[in-house]
Amino acid sequence: MYAIVDCDNCYVSCERVFRPDLEGKPVVVLSNNDGCVVARSNEAKQMGIKAGTPYYQLSSLFPDQKIAVFSSNYELYGDLTGRVMTILAQEAPEYFRYSIDEAFLILHGMESVDLKAWGERLHRTIRHNVGIPVSIGIAPNKTLAKMASHFAKHYKGYNHCCLIDSDAKRRKALSLYDIHEVWGIGRRYADRLQRLGIRTAGDFAAMSAEAVNANFNNVVLLRTWRELCGNDCVPNEAMAKKKSICVSRSFNGMLSDFDTLRTHISNYAARCAEKLRRQGTVASVVAVFMSTNPFREDLPQCSNYGEHRFLTPTANSIDIVKAAAQCAQQIFRPGFCYKRAGVIIMTIDSGPGIQTNFLDFDADRFQKIKKLDEVVDRINKTNGSETIVLGSQQYPGKGGGGKSPKFEEAMRRDFKSPNYTTRWSDIITLT
C-alpha cells in the first residue's frame, strides 16, 4: 500500500501558522515580484479568486473585500514543510518527497495496521506539531492514492484521510473522479479523452488496453490506465529524484545590462546545484534562457537559449555557475530589455559510479570541490541560506560600497512575512 500526504493550501497554511487570526478569512500568496496569485485559501477560492489573477486587479475585481495578501516567503515554506517531512520519516517505513508540499509513503510491513486510523492520527500529529493541515490518501498504487487524497481534501466526512482498499471502493472512486483531475493525464490528453466521451476516471479504466494504445500510443498514459485498473506500475525510483531542475524568475522591472543579468543567472545556477546535491545526483547539461516582455509590443523582442555539456557530470556550484555564465554571455544581445531568465539542468544521473572523462578528470580536484560544497551546504543550512555565496552571485552595488542584496532580496516582495523559524531577528516576541 501507498500513502500520499499533501499539505492543504500549503503556502497559505504556512502563513496562518503564525497568523491564527487569519483562520476562516480569505488569504492569497503572490508569485515572484508580487506578480499574480499562486496560492489561495478556501475562502479566497469561494470568493472567485482564480489562480494567476494579477495582484493589481484584486482591488477592482473584489472591491470592499478584505483579502490578506502575502509575498512568497520560500524560506518559511521550505522550513515548515521540511518539519512535516521529518514527521513522515518517523511515522512511515519509507518515504520520498514528491514536491515541496507532497510526499509518498511506502507502507510495506503495515498489513496488520488499521491504515484509516493511522492516517487520521498522522494528520493530528502534523497539525499539532507543525500547525499545517494535511490530506492523506491511501491506496494500492500511487495514482489511486493521489485520487484518495483528493477525496480526503474535499470531503469532510473522510476526516482528512481516505482509504481505497477494495475493488468496490476503487470503482466507486473512479466513477466520481473527473478525467481532468487524474494524476498523469495532462490537459491536452484529458480534452482528447473527453471528446471520445471519456468524462470520468471510471470511463477511462473501462477502455481496453488496445483502445488506449490505438488512440494515443503513449506509454505514460497506458501506465496511468493500468494503475486506475488496480495495478502498481509507477516505479519508486522514477518518482524519488527529478530528471531535470529549473530555477527561473521574472525580474522586478526589465534588465538591459549584462552584469546584473549575469548575476541573476549565477544565483539561479547556484540554486540548481544545491538541489542537485540535495538529492545526491549530478548533471551533464546546463542550459540558460532569457526573454523580453512579450506584452511590451513597443519594445524590440527576442528569446534566446543556450546550453553547455560537461564531459564529466557534476553537482559543483563553481562548475555549474561558470557554465551558466558562459551560456548567458553567448546568448545575450545588447539593446534588448529582458524580463525573464532561467537556468535548467538536465541529463541527471546518480552521483556514485558516474562515467568520468579520462582525458581531463582530476581526482584530487574532484575530492576538493566535493568537500568544499559539503562545507558550504552545511554552513548555509546552519546559519541561513546564502550565508556563503560565490562572488559572481553578488549583485552590483549602487555606489557607496553598500552591501549587495541576496538572491531573494533582489525580488520585489512588498508583503513578505518574517522568517519566523530561520532568523533570530524574526522570532516572535510575546508581550
Q: How far is CA 279 from CA 3, 85, 111, 127, 177, in A?
A: 21, 14, 30, 27, 33
Q: Which DSSP symbol is given to 153?
A: H
Q: What is the β-pairing status of strands 161-163 and 134-139?
A: parallel
Cell numbers at 116, concatenated: 484509516
Average pLDDT in the chain: 86
Q: 50 with 189, same domain?
A: no
Nearest-angstrom CA–CA distance, 312 and 355: 7
Nearest residue to 133 via CA among 157, 155, 160, 163: 160
What pLDDT score does 202 carry? 93
Instruction: Identify the band that residue 403 occupies on the pLDDT scale cut at 50, 70 and 90.
Output: very low
Q: Where residue 30 sits, what CATH number does that domain have? A: 3.40.1170.60
Nearest residue to 142 via CA among 204, 241, 228, 212: 228
Name the 3-class secondary structure at 106. strand
Residues 38, 55 contacting (CB under 8 angstroms): no
Global pTM reads: 0.71
Q: Which of 170-184, 255-269, 403-417 has the weakest average pLDDT? A: 403-417
Residue type, 288: V
pLDDT in tens, 336-367: 999 989 999 988 877 654 555 555 556 677 67
Q: 293 with 214, same domain?
A: no
Name the 3-class secondary structure at 102. strand
Mean pLDDT over 278-293 rounds to 89
What pLDDT score does 400 carry? 39
Q: Where residue 182 sits, what CATH number does that domain have? A: 1.10.150.20
What pLDDT score does 205 carry? 93
pLDDT in tens, 187-208: 888 998 999 899 999 999 999 9
User: pLDDT at residue 374 above 80?
Assistant: yes
Residues 158, 151 contacting (CB under 8 angstroms): yes
Q: 226 with 245, same domain?
A: no
What pLDDT score does 27 carry? 95
Q: Is residue 3 part of a domain?
A: no
Q: 284 with 194, same domain?
A: no
User: pLDDT at residue 214 above 70?
Assistant: yes
Q: What percent of the chain stands above pLDDT 70?
A: 90
Instruction: Identify the band that residue 406 occupies on the pLDDT scale cut at 50, 70 and 90.
Output: low
Q: Is residue 430 part of a domain?
A: no
Q: Is residue 431 part of a domain?
A: no
Nearest residue to 144 via CA among 269, 242, 345, 3: 3
Q: 219 with 282, same domain?
A: no
What pLDDT score does 355 carry? 54
Number of domains in the chain: 3
Domain boundary residue, one of 23, 52, 73: 73
Q: 86 with 208, same domain?
A: yes
Distance of CA 90 to the CA centre of its chain: 23
User: pLDDT at residue 401 above 70?
Assistant: no
Q: 245 with 325, same domain?
A: yes
What pLDDT score does 252 carry? 77
Q: 271 with 373, same domain?
A: yes
User: pLDDT at residue 89 above 80?
Assistant: yes
Nearest-angstrom CA–CA distance, 189 and 206: 17
Cell numbers at 240, concatenated: 524519488
Mean pLDDT over 253-277 rounds to 90
Q: 108 with 223, same domain?
A: yes
Nearest residue to 288 via CA among 316, 262, 312, 314: 262
Boundaries of domain holding 140? 77-236
Q: Is residue 318 part of a domain?
A: yes
Mean pLDDT over 129-145 rounds to 95
Phi, psi of 63 (to 5 degrees): -65, 145
Nearest-angstrom CA–CA distance, 129 and 121: 12
Nearest-angstrom CA–CA distance, 228 and 248: 34
Residue type, 307: E
Which of 215 and 143 is assigned the larger pLDDT?
143
Q: 306 with 282, same domain?
A: yes
